[in-house]
Amino acid sequence: MSELRIDLNCDMGESFGNYLMGADEKIFPYITSCNIACGFHAGDPYHIERTLLGAKKFGVQVGAHPGYPDLAGFGRRYLRMSKMELRTCLKYQIAALKGMAESIGVQIKYVKPHGALYNQAARDEEEAKTIVEAVREIDPTLAVMGLAGSTFMEIASNMGIRFIAEAFADRRYDNHGHLQSREESGAVIDEPGEAAAQVISIVRDSKVESAYYEEVMMSAESICIHGDNPEAVPILKAIDSALRERNILKLPFQT
């Protein structure tokens, strides 16, 4: 029987000017991949490069984290955009992060859409296709990361792009395996023990209990903890302990 392993990723580099978001320096020691904001939903050149340097220092795998152009809404509001407008918007963001990373000797390995774009790609074929096209036009060797079992997963695979199936430590799911709306009470998990238990259930048993107490099957290569969750560091510490206690390896996913 092969050893169990899991990649832990976190959304990072989301500070903007004097507005600080997340505890990136404290998070790096506990993760194996990081999704770095590209400046359209969050982040600015200074904080983006600082995050890239942190990833290099800690040996953490890097992915681009583009979103809708919505700084005011932190990219968590759906924006209706034409196919060309969205594709070029994504190419701009991915190319910027790729260029900044390469300037300091770091290679990005994947692209993970942010927020509302992530959720839209999980169920909208055209949105998913546009994202994959944008990634392919910048660098066809890049993988894409998205919701396990989603439409995005099917589209990426059909278009010949490596897909990284992702689950969440600090979010609850509905009975269909989609993320519970943040507008609903309890959609975000902030209790470290509960988040760690959800991770172990996904990694070891390929299932999660939904917000409505239904068992949902879920297989993932990477598990996300949101950097803007105030309890991100305690959650990561709890996950780290839970994985070590069960001899589950914490390693970057393989592209």
- Farthest-apart Cα atoms in the chain, separation: 50
Q: Would 246 be classed as within a structural domain?
A: yes
pLDDT reported for residue 187: 92
pTM (two decimals): 0.94
H or E element, residue 34: strand 33-37
**Does any domain span residue 202?**
yes
Instruction: Give the pLDDT score at 183.
Output: 86
Give the structural domain span for 39. Answer: 5-250
Residue 203 has phi, psi (to 5 degrees) of -70, -45
Residues facing 215 on adjacent strands: 209
182 part of a folded domain: yes
Residue 131 counted as domain residue: yes
Please tell me the total count of domains within the chain.
1
CATH number at residue 138: 3.20.20.370
Give the C-alpha separation, 128 to 140, whole Å: 15
Domain membership flag for residue 205 = yes
Q: Which residues of the chain have pLDDT under 70?
A: 1-2
In a domain, 35, yes or no: yes
Cα–Cα distance list, 9 to 21, 70, 130 (Å):
16, 23, 24
Digit-coded pLDDT (tens) for 112-142: 999 999 999 999 999 999 999 999 999 999 9
Q: Is residue 255 part of a domain?
A: no
Q: Is residue 186 part of a domain?
A: yes
Instruction: Give the per-residue pLDDT at 2.
Output: 64
